[in-house]
A and B are shown apart, each in its own frame.
Chain A
């Protein structure tokens, strides 16, 4: 009986130890929501005006394109297509992420999931050659102490840099430094990022964002569930544009 107890205890202990040793960033596990207002007191938010920062770095062609975009009719998110995670860093809506650490990767499941999707950051490997462009690109990461340094390329050019419609090319290159910190008795994910795209930007820009760890469960959000709402919104937008253009045509 005693032997069985020893064996069980030993296995439980070793399972716990091997788990802790083989899962980098295991204590990151959980759901984080973009911090706002008082939750940001004392934290250094770089480029708080996300859209303004993006616009200030756009080449003339990209600025023109952003100005001509319709924020509703041209937005992937309004037809339940992936909108990319990059613009979510500047989202006026709550954008959240669940961090699920693994032995060879960090998986981030974003919310709203069906338009931002999920993302895997692979350790100990290079970007593949002949990478097929995708909505969220290809991410590789390495640990520098308690910081996960992430390099992402391989984006398609169908998403925006910000919610205002700033375009980018497939040369988009993102580097992020992710670190869990304790601040005012709360746990945060600090993300400091640099965005580069030599064909779109005059120079790279940087920003930082903080995500506060939550103790509640991630919700479901089914984009197509809101199809009638979006239809109505898009129809209203179409009518508004039509009404705007009519007086000009009458002249």
Chain B
């Protein structure tokens, strides 16, 4: 009888898995298979549009509230130095908010990549599960060159909270801005992103929260929705002529 129960639940369990990616996360410990169910290409919906279910973008990097220190530092900012214009990454906080951002969610075992179609400005992000920031790799392909601690994209670690992936990122360099006006951030910037599949996996709800006590008067959050699209990302490379 016990075996029969297991067999029946196994059969229905497998059907359930196929039907609903979010159900897996709730019913079983997150696994590579769970991450894999999110693989695909997604595009953020334009502001002002609404997905069925009433899902709408909210907030914007332009609405952040900054400290006097940030205001002072902005006096020396030259908008010509915007990394957007010089074919460098614009940073996770600005990139994820941009209308029409296309990215591929690529799972790879106990981690996933976010590959951006606008590769130069978004580049490629890597999110690791099952480790802390302190356990980050220090090794590089060249033993003589130490790994840089502070990077354009920071160090991202992920964990599951029910059906939501929570990404915690620290260790950013100071080469990106918080918005198009050139608001700087410090190395103390800390972001928390929450990604949740909605509408049976056809879309992702994405919430970005940023904190930087040196530059932000208060933590700030925005929400974006990404629709799954049926195409590959293209090779779109911005090239600055040297």
Determine if B87 is an interface residue (Cβ-Cβ < 8 Å): yes
Name which of B69-77, B95-103, B119-127 contacts chain A: B119-127
Please give, as numbers and ranges, the residues of chain B lying within 8 Å of A6 by CB-CB distance. Answer: 2, 5-6, 9
A120 touches B108 (CB 8 A): no
Q: Mark A198-242, 1 if CB is under 8 A from B, else 0.
A: 000000000000000000111110101101001100100000000
B140 touches A219 (CB 8 A): yes
B17 touches A15 (CB 8 A): yes
Please give, as numbers and ranges, the residues of chain A lying within 8 Å of B136 by CB-CB distance. Answer: 217
Q: Mark A6-31, 1 if CB is under 8 A from B, else 0.
A: 11111111111011000100000110
Q: State the CA gap A82–B240 with chains docked (Å).
A: 13
B237 touches A81 (CB 8 A): yes
A227 touches B240 (CB 8 A): yes
B108 touches A29 (CB 8 A): yes
Q: A6-B6, A79-B241 are in contact. Are A30 and B109 (CB under 8 A)?
A: yes
B123 touches A16 (CB 8 A): no
- A12 nearest CB neighbor, chain B only: B28
In the complex, which range does the number of interface residues on chain A fall in? 35 or more
Please give, as numbers and ranges, the residues of chain B lying within 8 Å of A230 by CB-CB distance. Answer: 242
Interface centre among A19, A109, A220 (most CB of B within 10 A): A220
B139 touches A216 (CB 8 A): yes
Q: Which of A19-64 contact B (CB under 8 A)?
A: 19, 23, 29-30, 33
Which residue of the partner chain, among B6, B141, B153, contacts A96 with CB atoms under 8 Å? B141
Smallest Cβ distance from B109 to chain A, in angstroms? 4
Q: State the CA gap A92–B8 with chains docked (Å).
A: 57
Name which of A110-118, A139-147, A168-176, A184-192 contacts chain B: A110-118
Which residue of the partner chain, among A12, A94, A102, contacts B39 with CB atoms under 8 Å? A102
Please give, as numbers and ranges, the residues of chain A lying within 8 Å of B6 by CB-CB distance. Answer: 6, 9-10
Please give, as numbers and ranges, the residues of chain B lying within 8 Å of A96 by CB-CB distance. Answer: 141
Smallest Cβ distance from B159 to chain A, in angstroms? 17
Q: Mark A92-131, 1 if CB is under 8 A from B, else 0.
A: 0010101010100001010101100110100000000000
Please give, as numbers and ranges, the residues of chain B lying within 8 Å of A135 by CB-CB distance. Answer: 235
B10 touches A14 (CB 8 A): yes
Q: State the CA gap A54–B235 with chains docked (Å).
A: 27
Q: A80-B239, A80-B240 are in contact. Are A100 and B106 (CB under 8 A)?
A: yes
Please give, as numbers and ranges, the residues of chain A lying within 8 Å of B175 by CB-CB distance. Answer: 225
Please give, as numbers and ranges, the residues of chain B lying within 8 Å of A19 by CB-CB distance. Answer: 31-33, 36
Determine if B27 is an interface residue (Cβ-Cβ < 8 Å): yes
Interface centre among B108, B126, B141, B142 (most CB of A within 10 A): B141
Q: A79-B239, A82-B235 are in contact. Are A216 and B33 (CB under 8 A)?
A: no
- A29 nearest CB neighbor, chain B only: B109
Please give, as numbers and ranges, the residues of chain A lying within 8 Å of B17 by CB-CB distance. Answer: 11, 14-15, 18
- B87 nearest CB neighbor, chain A only: A224
Smallest Cβ distance from A83 to chain B, in angstroms? 11
Determine if A251 is an interface residue (Cβ-Cβ < 8 Å): no
Please give, as numbers and ranges, the residues of chain B lying within 8 Å of A220 by CB-CB distance. Answer: 123-124, 151-153
Please give, as numbers and ranges, the residues of chain A lying within 8 Å of B10 by CB-CB distance. Answer: 10-11, 13-14
Smallest Cβ distance from A79 to chain B, in angstroms? 6
Please give, as numbers and ranges, the residues of chain B lying within 8 Å of A117 by CB-CB distance. Answer: 119, 235
Q: Mark B122-137, 1 if CB is under 8 A from A, else 0.
A: 0110101000000011
Determine if B63 is an interface residue (Cβ-Cβ < 8 Å): no
Q: State the CA gap A3–B8 with chains docked (Å).
A: 11
Please give, as numbers and ranges, the residues of chain A lying within 8 Å of B107 by CB-CB distance. Answer: 100
Determine if A78 is an interface residue (Cβ-Cβ < 8 Å): yes
Please give, as numbers and ranges, the residues of chain B lying within 8 Å of A216 by CB-CB distance. Answer: 137, 139-140
Determine if B53 is an interface residue (Cβ-Cβ < 8 Å): no
> Which residues from chain B sit less than 8 Å from chain A, CB to CB?
2, 5-6, 9-10, 13-14, 16-17, 24, 27-29, 31-34, 36, 39, 86-89, 106-109, 113, 115, 119-120, 123-124, 126, 128, 136-137, 139-142, 147, 151-153, 175, 232, 235, 237, 239-242
Taking A6-B6, A14-B17, A82-B237 as given, write out 6 further A-B residue pairs in contact, using a Cβ cutoff of 8 Å, ordered by the A residue number. Answer: A10-B9, A11-B16, A11-B27, A18-B17, A222-B152, A230-B242
> Which residues from chain A sit less than 8 Å from chain B, CB to CB?
3, 6-16, 18-19, 23, 29-30, 33, 78-82, 94, 96, 98, 100, 102, 107, 109, 111, 113-114, 117-118, 120, 134-136, 216-220, 222, 224-225, 227, 230-231, 234
**Could you list some 14 contacts between A and B, CB below 8 A?**
A12-B31, A15-B17, A80-B239, A80-B240, A98-B108, A100-B107, A102-B106, A111-B141, A114-B237, A216-B137, A217-B136, A220-B123, A222-B152, A225-B175
